[in-house]
Amino acid sequence: MNIRRFNGDFGNSTNNFMIDGYYLEIPTNVVEISETKANELFVNPITQSNELLERIVISTEIDGKERYYLVGEMAEMSKLSNGHVAIMHDKIKSNIPYLSFLSAVSYYDALNSDNNDNKIEIDYMSTMLPIWLLKREDKFSYAQKQMEERFIGEHSVKIITLGMEKELKIVVKRTKCRIESEVARHALKYKMLASEDDKNVLIIEKRNNVEFANFQVVLVDIGGGSTDAVKLAKGLSTPQSRASFQVIDIAPFLGEIEQLRKEKLLEYFHNLRALEKFIVENYKQKKYIFKDENTGENYDFTNKINEVLQEYANIFATKLLNSFINESGEPIKFIYFGGEASILEPFIKQSLLEHMSEAVVENNHFFLNEILEDDTKEIFKPSPRTINLAALEILSINEMRKTNEGE
């Protein structure tokens, strides 16, 4: 099987992938198990390929040894699967992105490949690194090259899941590592549309965002692990210097949620993923009512959770604003996105009012849903969680077209 474009966003909470235009998510949960346990996990085989996403068990050689892993939903319930959330997760050295990559390819193969086809060629793979990892090096390109070298070349993986057993050889021909947060500017400037003449042909079209043409813009990417911010030149153009890239010095968001669980909600949520899902499912209602399915009793955790979210937003807003002080006096526009942006939006807006007037907040601080136009023809309209991935897809389409033209 041939894959033209593989784009991967390795997040601290969820891994998001776009494979030849097909979108999928895999929770960032990985647990190593023994070979014996791997072979004893399943009683009944899977009969439908799409069931594999919820039951991924793979093996691969790491450091010269065959090792076995639960990935994604199979690993969610394990207390060993969230060890990365309270620290800055080094995606260059960690095995989690690599195992997630193998799992994503395995699942895509299960959906699309002939069972007898064991070789997958990926023409172009792109991914990203957060700013804190890039700034650790003398040059960003050093870290980017390390990430690119992790994936280029040949890989082997065995799917252990009963009913889906298969060994795959994966060959990645070209890799590109970009800068998280900064890359999002491409999805702010451009959108993907299907050609009216041929629905299989994608058109990259410029957005109508003239409100940012004459201002410097800070893109603020609020992740579950690190929070990055980058100041763009006018017109959402390339950053001017290394100093334009900032890491907001604040504890990982998921680590704070885990602390809340351990200290106040341990008897109701037995792992971080359960509490995180509870918050994601309820933040739009602004009420956090937990129903114990065993007793039928309801518990109101609204005040406990909101207190943590507001405190986090207060620290976040202060550190962000201190990181970008415009000495020229010209206003700077801020655009917020990332996996945790939607949850924190009302709390950040409240925190900003401690630093400036309501009019300034309204004119200079924007969340993604406030600036992207509605276009029914747009394919894969970015959300706060997927804007970096959408940008990778736009760039990969352009790169592949250049390659085709060169041939």
Q: Give me the chain's average pLDDT, please.
A: 92
Residues 6+ apart with CB under 8 A from 397: 5, 192, 202, 204
- Quick one: 23 and 94 in the same domain? yes
Q: What is the pLDDT of residue 102?
A: 98
- The CATH number covering residue 93 comes to 3.30.420.40
Q: What is the pLDDT of residues 392-407, one digit of tens each?
A: 999 999 998 887 765 5
What is the token pair recorded at 217?
């813009």
- Quick one: 332 and 227 in the same domain? yes
- Quick one: 25 and 71 in the same domain? yes
Determine contact, residues 192/394, Cβ cutoff 8 Å: yes
- Quick one: 151 and 35 in the same domain? yes
Angle at 391 between CA 385 and CA 397, to 5 degrees: 135
Residue 130: inside a domain: yes
Determine contact, residues 11/73, Cβ cutoff 8 Å: no
Residue 140: inside a domain: yes
Question: For the residues 166-171, what does the mean pLDDT come to?
Answer: 97
- Quick one: 252 and 347 in the same domain? yes
What is the token pair recorded at 188?
């702010």
- Quick one: 216 and 359 in the same domain? yes
Question: For the residues 292-319, what does the mean pLDDT come to?
Answer: 94
Q: What is the pLDDT of residue 76?
A: 76
Residue 203: inside a domain: no
- Quick one: 167 and 229 in the same domain? no
Q: Provide the whole-model pTM.
A: 0.93
**3-state SS assignment for residue 263:** helix
Residue 297: inside a domain: yes
- Quick one: 70 and 18 in the same domain? yes
Residue 25 has pLDDT above 90, yes or no: yes
Q: Which helix (H) or strand (E) holds 271?
A: none
Cα distance between residue 225 and residue 230, in whole Å: 17
Residue 94: inside a domain: yes
Q: Which domain holds residue 336?
A: 208-371
The pLDDT-based confidence of 84 (bands split at 50, 70, 90) is low
Q: What are phi and psi of 361, to 5 degrees?
A: -60, -45
The pLDDT-based confidence of 8 (bands split at 50, 70, 90) is very high
Written as one letter, the residue type at 103 is S
Q: How many CB atoms lie within 10 A of CB 206?
A: 8
Q: What is the pLDDT of residue 80?
A: 58
Q: How many CB atoms lie within 10 A of CB 159?
A: 23
- Quick one: 150 and 257 in the same domain? no
Q: What is the pLDDT of residues 105-160, one digit of tens each?
A: 999 999 998 778 899 999 999 999 999 999 999 999 999 999 999 999 999 999 99
- Quick one: 174 and 214 in the same domain? no
Tell me which of 11-15, 94-98, 259-263, 331-335 is least confident. Answer: 11-15
Residue 76: inside a domain: yes
- Quick one: 43 and 94 in the same domain? yes
Which string of DSSP letters, residue by residue, matches 51-86? GGGGSEEEEEEETTEEEEEEEGGGTTT-TTTTTTTT
Determine contact, residues 80/129, Cβ cutoff 8 Å: no
High-pLDDT (> 70) share of the chain, %: 96
Residue 389: inside a domain: no
The pLDDT-based confidence of 200 (bands split at 50, 70, 90) is confident
Cα distance between residue 50 and residue 48, in whole Å: 6
Q: What is the pLDDT of residue 74?
A: 86
Q: What is the pLDDT of residue 201?
A: 80
Q: What is the pLDDT of residues 45-83, one digit of tens each?
A: 998 999 999 999 999 999 999 999 999 888 876 655 565
Q: What is the pLDDT of residue 88?
A: 57
Cα distance between residue 63 and residue 66, in whole Å: 8
Label residue 235 left, alpha or beta by phi (over 0 means left) and psi (-120 to 50 means alpha).
left
Determine contact, residues 248/231, Cβ cutoff 8 Å: no
- Quick one: 265 and 342 in the same domain? yes
Number of domains the chain contains:
2
Residue 343: inside a domain: yes
